[in-house]
């Protein structure tokens, strides 16, 4: 498989190749160097020359975790963008070295749960062959940068955030100063007026904005995060001129690297530093470092960002109308439902953005078989400029689809259970791996998601409920992002038994808020019914087409309490 040869500038926007970044020989040499290095480290581990302790940091820097049953390899999908050729290579990896499937994560990556250590160097080579890698998908370093999954396609976008994200990806790769940080460090970007990247909830969130003079720059948010101590990020810079981005990021990282806590790993994220230092004092530290540093010696040239941006030049969109879209919708109510929920407005007339659901009713959220990967790739080849996105909701996005192709695309997706009409609805559940895979889990999360998904499978009822996010984590590390769900579920362990806490009122967007605990923990069997009661209370309370979060903010938690109390009083008839 070789997609690496086409230079980016031959025919920008010609639709001959996906509009995404391609490696030049520096990038290729760099990744190849890393594959060779890791192959050597694995050989030394297998021969016993390296102890597990000594091997650990090396494998983590290459995305290899030791889980409950086996190694897990987390492959980086930079800002979620993946070509159809890359997706087919992921399918090949799943078949050849795993059990025929993979798992899309909440950070737009893909994980393989069953690789053998001896095979990992070959897997990394297979990834390098299609310009992919697993570098810095774990460890206390700057992790894979995430971005709006509708980037470059959304109707509400000021600028495609991916060129900036790629610039940051390169700058943060193997950084000599910032690779042994107090803790992991995550960045997210958006270039839209709507926040689909949760920029308020990352170590650094960047929003592309235009100032009154018409210049493009960044609003910088620092210190958001989930985990044990969830916090909404704070504004540290209203408008950062575009050319100064890397210097400013370096100033933040420098302050964090020097002053972030290292005495307690649960207090080591930058959010705690910002919180304990105080926002104004933290800002002053960053500004002092920014003023003292050699900014021009740190920043990339504007020409470098322009070089990267050229790769992302928009495909050439044709002048098209919606064709028979309305006719098909009228004839097929299930297709009409799919269009209602899984299709979003595109910046070009006659086009649409489509979400393929990786959340079939009763399925495992984010799990995808190799056959499904190949089908997704085929759909992208045929209908979406050979390109896809992994969303942090663990779905797959086709960014550039002609509206007149929607019906054919839907039929194709349906053949392998990828057309569930539930994007953004109550069954579009995010769940971490939990007890089924994760060594840190205190409870199961996947089976809970499956039960809730089955309970709400009726599509008319889902439509009535409308947009409502449920997110489930299997321990307080909160990888399932339960804090920012309208309804969050946290699985804990209490006297040897799984116990589930419900939180309400989380919001992942610019108006971010952390969900509040509803009451005491529940047994696993009680969870779906309590969710059902909560939804019924919401339906009674809501005014017009108010979202759950708005109802909750208006009426408060009190009206929702009875959902729990009923369970306590007459738990026997559940």
Partner 1 sequence: MALISEGKFIPDIWHHAAPEAAIADHTILPLERIAEATGAFGVLLPNDAEIAAIKPFLGTVSVIAINFPAFTDGRGFSLARLVRRAGFTGELRAFGNVLPDQYAAILACGFDTVEISPERAARQPEANWTAALGGRDHAYQRGYHTKVSILNRRRAAK
474 binds, among ligand SF4, partner 1, none (CB under 5 to 8 A by kind): ligand SF4
| Smallest separation (angstroms) from partner 1 to the CB of 456 | 45
384 binds, among ligand SF4, partner 1, none (CB under 5 to 8 A by kind): none
Q: Give me the DSSP letters along 366-426.
A: TEEEHHHHHHHHHHHHHHSTTEEEE-TTS-EEEEEEEGGGHHHHHHHHHTTT---S-TTST
| Smallest separation (angstroms) from ligand SF4 to the CB of 87 | 24
**Nearest alpha carbon to residue 507 among 226, 287, 312, 222:** 226
CB closer to ligand SF4, 429 vs 438? 438
Spatial distance between the Cα atoms of 280 and 223, rounded to a whole number of angstroms: 13
Question: b/e per residue, 195-218, with b = 16+ CB within 10 A?
Answer: bbbbbbbbbbbbbbbeeeeeeebb
Residue with tokens 């790739």: 377
CB closer to ligand SF4, 184 vs 332? 184
CB closer to partner 1, 26 vs 47? 26
480 binds, among partner 1, ligand SF4, none (CB under 5 to 8 A by kind): ligand SF4
**HEC profile for 281-310?**
HHHHHHHHHHHHCCHHHHCCCHHHHHHHHH
| Smallest separation (angstroms) from partner 1 to the CB of 170 | 4
CB closer to partner 1, 294 vs 570? 294
Cβ–Cβ contacts within 10 Å for residue 31, how many?
Answer: 21
318 binds, among partner 1, ligand SF4, none (CB under 5 to 8 A by kind): none
| Cα-based distances in Å from 276 to 259, 268, 270, 279, 344 | 11, 11, 10, 9, 41
441 binds, among ligand SF4, partner 1, none (CB under 5 to 8 A by kind): ligand SF4
Tokens of 141: 């370093």
| Smallest separation (angstroms) from ligand SF4 to the CB of 542 | 30
| Smallest separation (angstroms) from partner 1 to the CB of 265 | 11
Residue with tokens 């990786």: 358
Instruction: Give rounded-to-5 percent helix, strand, coil for the chain.
Output: 40, 20, 40
Angle, CA 309 vertex, CA 211 and CA 242 arms, to 5°:
30
CB closer to ligand SF4, 88 vs 444? 444
**HEC profile for 37-91?**
HHHHHHHHHHHCCCCHHHHHHHHHHCCEEECCCCEEEEEECHHHEEEHHHHHHHH
225 binds, among partner 1, ligand SF4, none (CB under 5 to 8 A by kind): none
178 binds, among ligand SF4, partner 1, none (CB under 5 to 8 A by kind): partner 1
By CB under 6 A, name the binding residues for ligand SF4: 432-434, 438, 440-441, 473-475, 477-480
| Cα-based distances in Å from 306 to 21, 205, 243, 249, 397 | 12, 22, 11, 19, 26
By CB under 8 A, name the binding residues for partner 1: 24, 26-27, 29-30, 33, 37, 57-58, 140, 170-171, 173-181, 254, 257-258, 262, 292-294, 297-301, 303-304, 307
277 binds, among partner 1, ligand SF4, none (CB under 5 to 8 A by kind): none
| Cα-based distances in Å from 456 to 201, 445, 571 | 28, 17, 21
CB closer to partner 1, 254 vs 395? 254
| Smallest separation (angstroms) from partner 1 to the CB of 259 | 8
434 binds, among ligand SF4, partner 1, none (CB under 5 to 8 A by kind): ligand SF4
CB closer to partner 1, 152 vs 182? 182
CB closer to ligand SF4, 64 vs 220? 64
CB closer to partner 1, 303 vs 558? 303
CB 415 within 8 A of CB 369: no
Angle, CA 251 vertex, CA 151 and CA 247 arms, to 5°:
60
Residue with tokens 């495609």: 160
| Smallest separation (angstroms) from partner 1 to the CB of 65 | 17
CB 224 within 8 A of CB 512: yes
477 binds, among partner 1, ligand SF4, none (CB under 5 to 8 A by kind): ligand SF4
| Smallest separation (angstroms) from ligand SF4 to the CB of 433 | 5
Length, in residues, of the chain = 574
144 binds, among ligand SF4, partner 1, none (CB under 5 to 8 A by kind): none
| Smallest separation (angstroms) from partner 1 to the CB of 307 | 7
| Smallest separation (angstroms) from partner 1 to the CB of 180 | 3
CB closer to ligand SF4, 158 vs 492? 492
DSSP 257: H
Tokens of 288: 């002092």
CB closer to partner 1, 177 vs 525? 177
Cβ–Cβ contacts within 10 Å for residue 227, how many?
Answer: 17
| Smallest separation (angstroms) from partner 1 to the CB of 26 | 4
């Amino acid at each position: 498989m070789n997609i690496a040869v086409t230079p980016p500038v031959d025919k920008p926007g010609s639709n001959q190749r996906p509009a995404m970044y391609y490696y030049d020989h520096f990038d290729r040499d760099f990744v190849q160097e890393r594959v060779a290095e890791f192959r050597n480290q694995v050989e030394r581990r297998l021969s016993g020359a390296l102890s597990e302790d000594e091997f650990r940091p090396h494998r983590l820097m290459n995305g290899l975790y030791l889980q409950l049953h086996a190694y897990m390899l987390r492959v980086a999908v930079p800002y979620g963008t993946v070509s159809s050729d890359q997706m087919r290579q992921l399918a090949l990896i799943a078949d050849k070295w795993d059990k025929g499937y993979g798992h899309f994560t909440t950070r737009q990556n893909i994980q393989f749960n069953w690789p053998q250590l001896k095979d990992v160097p070959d897997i990394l080579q297979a990834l390098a062959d299609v310009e992919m890698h697993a570098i810095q998908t774990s460890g206390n370093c700057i992790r894979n940068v995430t971005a709006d999954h509708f980037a470059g396609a959304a109707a509400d976008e000021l600028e495609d955030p991916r060129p900036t994200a790629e610039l940051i990806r390169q700058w943060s790769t193997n950084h000599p100063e910032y690779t042994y940080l107090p803790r992991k460090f995550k960045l997210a970007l958006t270039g839209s007026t709507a926040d689909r990247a949760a920029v308020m909830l990352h170590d650094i969130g960047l929003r592309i904005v235009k100032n009154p003079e018409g210049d493009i720059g960044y609003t910088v948010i620092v210190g958001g995060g989930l985990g044990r101590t969830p916090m909404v990020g704070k504004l540290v810079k209203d408008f950062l001129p575009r050319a100064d981005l890397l210097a400013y990021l370096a100033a933040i990282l420098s302050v964090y690297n020097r002053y972030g806590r290292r005495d307690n790993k649960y207090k080591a994220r930058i959010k705690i530093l910002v919180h304990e230092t105080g926002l104004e004092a933290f800002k002053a530290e960053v500004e002092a470092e920014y003023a003292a540093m050699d900014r021009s010696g740190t920043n990339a040239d504007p020409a470098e960002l322009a070089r990267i941006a050229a790769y992302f030049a928009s495909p050439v969109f044709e002048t098209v109308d919606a064709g028979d879209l309305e006719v098909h919708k009228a004839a097929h109510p299930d297709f009409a439902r799919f269009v209602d929920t899984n299709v979003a407005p595109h910046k070009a007339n006659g086009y649409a953005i489509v979400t393929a659901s990786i959340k079939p009713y009763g399925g495992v959220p984010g799990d995808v078989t190799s056959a499904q990967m190949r089908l997704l790739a085929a759909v992208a080849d045929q209908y979406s400029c050979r390109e896809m996105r992994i969303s942090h909701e663990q779905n797959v996005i086709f960014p550039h689809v002609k509206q007149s192709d929607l019906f054919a695309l839907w039929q194709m997706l349906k053949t392998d259970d990828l057309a569930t009409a539930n994007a953004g609805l109550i069954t579009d559940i995010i769940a971490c791996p939990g007890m089924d895979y994760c060594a840190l889990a205190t409870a199961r999360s996947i089976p809970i998601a499956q039960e809730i998904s089955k309970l709400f499978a009726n599509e008319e009822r889902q439509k009535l409920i409308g947009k409502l996010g449920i997110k489930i984590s299997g321990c307080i590390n909160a990888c399932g992002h339960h804090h920012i769900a309208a309804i969050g579920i946290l699985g804990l362990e209490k006297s040897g038994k799984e116990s589930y806490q419900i939180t309400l009122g989380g919001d992942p967007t610019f108006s971010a808020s952390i969900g509040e605990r509803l009451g005491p923990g529940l047994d696993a069997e009680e969870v779906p019914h309590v969710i059902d009661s909560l939804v019924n209370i919401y339906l009674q309370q809501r005014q017009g087409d108010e979202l759950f979060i708005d109802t909750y903010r208006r009426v408060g938690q009190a009206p929702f309490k009875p959902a729990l109390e009923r369970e306590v009083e007459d738990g026997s008839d559940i």
